[in-house]
Amino acid sequence: MDTKRFIVAVLLSAMVLVGFEYFMPKQTHQEVAQQVAQTSRQTPPSDAARSAAPVAGVSSQPVSVPSPQAETRLEIDAPAVRGSIDLLGARLDDMVLRDYHETVAAGSPLVRILEAAHDPQPNYVEIGWMNLAGGQVRVPDASTVWTADAPKLTADHPVTLSWDNGEGVTFQIVVGIDAHYMFAIEQRIVNHSAQPVSLYPFARVSRAYTPEETGGYLVHEGPISVIDGRLDESSYKSLRTGATPPGNTSWTKAGQGGWAGITDKYWLTAVVPQQGVPVTGSYGYQANGGAGVYQVGFIAQVPTVVGAGATASTASHVFAGAKEVSLLEQYQSSLHIPDFWKAVDFGWFAFMTRPIFYVLDWLNTLLGNFGLALMAFTLLVKALFFPLATRQFRSMAKMRKLQPKVQDLRERYRGDQMALNQQMMALYKTEGVNPASGCLPMLVQIPVFWSLYKDLYITIEMRHAPFFGWIHDLSAPDLTNLFTLFGLIPWDPAGLSPYLQLGVWPILFGVTMFLQQKLNPAPMDPAQQRVFQVMPVLFTFFMARQPAGLVIYYCWNNLLTMAQQMVIQRRTQGATSQAVPAPAAAKRK
Q: How do residues 569-581 score in pLDDT, each as one tens digit?
A: 777 666 555 544 5
CB 393 within 8 A of CB 569: yes
Three-state secondary structure call for residue 385: coil
Please list the alpha-helical segments (H only) found in 275-416: 325-334, 350-367, 370-384, 386-412
pLDDT band with cut points at 50, 70 and 90 for residue 585: very low
Phi-psi region of 248 (alpha: psi -120 to 50; beta: other; left: phi over 0): left
> Is the Cβ–Cβ distance between 519 and 562 less than 8 Å?
yes
Average of per-residue pLDDT across 116-143 = 92
Query: Dihedrals φ, ψ of 522, to 5°?
Result: -70, 145
| Ordered domains of the chain (ranges, CATH) | 73-345 (2.70.98.90), 362-575 (no CATH)
Determine how many CB atoms are found less than 10 A away from the CB of residue 479: 15
Closest by CA position to 353, among listed 264, 459, 463, 466: 459
Q: How many whole angstroms separate alpha carbon 293 and alpha carbon 95?
A: 19
Q: At what angle do helices 504-519 and 526-543 cross, to 10 degrees?
A: 160
- For the segment 409-436, the average pLDDT, to the nearest whole number, is 78
Phi/psi of residue 94, nearest 5 degrees: -150, 105
What mean pLDDT comes out for the span 276-297? Answer: 89
Reported confidence tier of residue 588, pLDDT bands at 50, 70, 90: very low
Instruction: Give me the count of residues in the chain.
Output: 589
Give the count of alpha carbons within 13 A of 45, CB side only.
26
pLDDT tens column, 219-264: 899 999 999 999 999 999 999 998 888 788 999 999 998 999 999 9
Hey, what's the torsion of the CAs at 515, 521, 525, 526, to 10 degrees?
40
Mean per-residue pLDDT of the chain = 81
Please give the Cα distance from 434 to 399 (Å, whole number): 9
Q: What are the C-alpha distances in Å from 8 to residues 285, 400, 424? A: 46, 20, 19
Most confidently modeled of 366-370, 406-410, 419-423?
366-370
* pTM for the structure as a whole: 0.79
Q: Say yes or no to pLDDT of 583 above 60.
A: no
pLDDT digits (tens, 9 = 90+) for 437-477: 656 666 777 888 788 888 888 899 888 888 988 888 888 88
Q: Dump pLDDT digits (tens) for 157-179.
A: 999 999 999 999 999 999 999 99
Tell whether the model's pLDDT for residue 14 goes beyond 60.
no
Segment 202-213, tens digit of pLDDT: 999 999 999 876
Q: Of 375-389, 400-414, 487-501, which one has max mean pLDDT?
A: 375-389
Model confidence pLDDT, tens digit, residues 19-77: 433 433 333 333 323 333 333 333 333 333 333 333 445 554 545 555 444 458 999 99
Write the DSSP assignment of 556-579 as a string of letters.
Answer: HHHHHHHHHHHHHHHHHHHHHHHH
